[in-house]
Homo-oligomer: A and B are copies of this chain.
């Protein structure tokens, strides 16, 4: 067996460490958001809407890396809790632009700071330059995989 043809030791595989880091981040965010009665997809939805009000269900799904169906369930839950509002009818096409309520904005504020603390803890010991490079490198990886070519 030639070297490099298989995945090789786990600790040296980029995919494995990537999944490890993502899993750790997911777990940390999960425990951090639990006191706020928010799941990670719910928080992602709030964060998206806070930065880009009026996003449709499909847009939110793409932004949170889930399917439209899952995001729809998330939106319904958030709507029932009074954190998000959607018009009953679409003004243009079928898109239903969602927006945060004041309560939703308050919830987002608390959740966002909590999540920010998790990110800070995750990047502890990393120089700003290294964080920049990590950001750019991960973006390249994502683009390489999402390209349809």
> Looking at the complex, which one of B14, B125, B135, B144 makes contact with A14 (CB distance below 8 Å)?
B135
Contacts A15-B122, A119-B15 given; indicate if A137 touches B134 (C-beta within 8 A): yes
Residues of B within 8 Å of A18, CB to CB, are 18, 21-22, 25, 138
Q: List 18 A-B contacts (CB under 8 A).
A: A7-B115, A10-B47, A13-B119, A14-B119, A14-B122, A17-B139, A18-B25, A21-B142, A24-B141, A24-B142, A24-B145, A121-B144, A122-B144, A124-B144, A126-B141, A130-B133, A133-B133, A133-B137
The answer to whether B65 and A19 touch across the interface, beta carbons within 8 angstroms, is: yes
A101 within 8 Å of B by Cβ? no
The answer to whether A22 and B19 touch across the interface, beta carbons within 8 angstroms, is: yes
Residues of B within 8 Å of A35, CB to CB, are none
